[in-house]
Amino acid sequence: MTSILPAIADTTSLRCNMATTPIDATWWKHAVFYHIYPKSFQDSDGDGIGDIRGIIDRLDYLAELGIDAVWLSPVYRSPMADGGYDISDYRDIDPLFGSMDDFKELLEQAHDKGIRVMMDLVMNHTSDQHPWFVESRSSLDNPKRDWYIWHAGHKAPNNWRTNFLERAWQYDSVTKQYYYHSFFKEQPDLNWRNEDMKRAFFENIRFWLDMGIDGFRLDVINMIMKDSLLRSNPLLSRTKVYNRNQPETYDILKEFRLLLNEYPEKTSVGEIYVLPPGDPKLVASFLGSGDDMLHMVFDFSLLFCTWNARKYYHAIQSYYDALPSEGWPCFAFSNHDMGRSLNRFGRKHHANEKAKLLAVMLMTLKGTPFIYYGDEIGMTNVNIPRKQICDRYGKMFWPIYKGRDSGRTPMQWDAGLGGGFTAGEPWLPLNKDYQQVNVEDETADDNSVLNTYRQLITLRKEIPALRQGEIEFTRTGSKDILSYIRSIDDQQIQVVLNFSSCKCEFIGILPEGSQLIFSTHHKTVTNNEKIILQPFEASIWLIMK
């Protein structure tokens, strides 16, 4: 790699203790987020399952990488019918991950290192073991009966299906009625039309904000409101459906934002459930006017892109075009549900080169980047044998759909037994490549994917145009080349990405004296205004005026 920065950049000097930092309500716009699936990040006690103390043990790694904030998938108390997204107590930590004292220590130590902590927030449903639902199903006249969505009758009221196309109405033999569940039957949906439930839920949110967490990622937030008439969904429509995307959702989110605004430095990012190929306009609508609903929302169009520069351009530009004038974008290429990005592009063919190019794109687009744990070392999905699958969806639909475990495997820290993740038997098998693809080995390799991320994160922190600048695409029509300029005040940065396996020539606006400040390859040859890009090369230029 070519860079104006040292191969392993020291980002520690760029950080400071949050307790001594002036209030910055827009910190999330220039931050780098890191998504941790706690069960798979680091095991501290040898039981093969990642935990909160394991995350504490790896905070120095995150600080050295340059991470500003972490988002934790759920660590609340849960029966684990759906990996912790079935919550039985919103105010407690599940013993699988540790204790509340462990979590408070994580908050304290993370904040001391300048790292903020964002929790997952599931507003659509609870566990059927949550005390609210236990009361709700106990009798027809229980005060919490209407806290969930019930239907009286001898059959389900409509054709609604779960997200995996099963019947979504579950008959309850105790009260002889049906309740609605968007996911498993153990995850009954809350009734957000009930004011008492809403107040109680908002108090749960306030509980964590008062403790000092820095915000929330909101799970499937566009699904929390359902049609009050319980009308059946049209059979041939992707968008006109009655069990999600209801207008009243925006009212709930405005109230949610008012609560967050009482804590000036808190932030939020929403997951909007959409089917491929995505829907940027729907996604952007959950930002409201840009400051009255969510702070950020994920557009998963990029998670559905194939390896093609033109398709990435159209997905990115459509997202930008859909944003309100005050809206701020964010980007992720992988997550705990969709798996790892490299597997969409043929993981055995030029995996490292593609991982580095994606890193450059993620760190130089206008918007807040979210790194999924392990992507920074080039981890890929694991083909897990049927007998080792833990994800319930994988068990239900194997072999047509093998579930989500393949993208949730343990973090690969070193080449030793257990990959540095655990001293015991890991809850999911490690990738067979962990002895080559791991943090320890890649730290020592100047040209590794990990050191590419380290350099890019530092570059982003040092160059205002990459954090806050506007973006203008300069090459969009090619399936091979994507290029754009980031600019702020008198600073301009040109980014050029070659998606091709061949050398490509790029003719751009590069005045004399323009400086190459980063390349994923050892050198980039220029001839006047021509840039000769190596296969899969990504380069960043400081444009001189």
The predicted-structure confidence for 109-134, as pLDDT tens digits, reads as follows 999 999 999 999 999 999 999 999 99
- What is the pLDDT at residue 18? 65
pLDDT of residue 17: 64
- Active-site hit among 51, 82, 189, 219: 219
The edge-to-edge listing of strands for the beta sheet with 2-3 is: 2-3, 515-519, 538-542, 491-498, 481-488, 470-475
Active-site hit among 120, 271, 376, 441: 271
Distances 447 to 7, 61, 231, 269, 524 between C-alpha atoms, Å: 8, 18, 57, 33, 15
The pLDDT assigned to 22 comes to: 73
Below-50 pLDDT ranges, the chain? 6-14
Q: Are 24 and 264 in contact (CB under 8 A)?
A: no
Residue 8: what pLDDT?
39
Q: State residue 11's pLDDT score.
A: 45
Largest CA distance in the chain: 80
Is 271 considered catalytic here? yes
CB 306: neighbour CB atoms within 10 A? 9
Q: Can 47 be counted among the known catalytic residues?
A: no
Say what the pLDDT of residue 237 is: 76
Residues forming beta bridges with residue 530, ordered by sequence position: 507, 527
Q: Which of 515, 516, 469, 473 lies closest to 488 in space, CA to CA?
A: 469
In this predicted structure, what is the pLDDT of residue 418? Answer: 97
* Closest alpha carbon to 409 in 387, 386, 383, 435: 383
pLDDT in tens, 366-415: 999 999 999 999 999 999 999 999 999 999 999 999 999 999 999 999 99
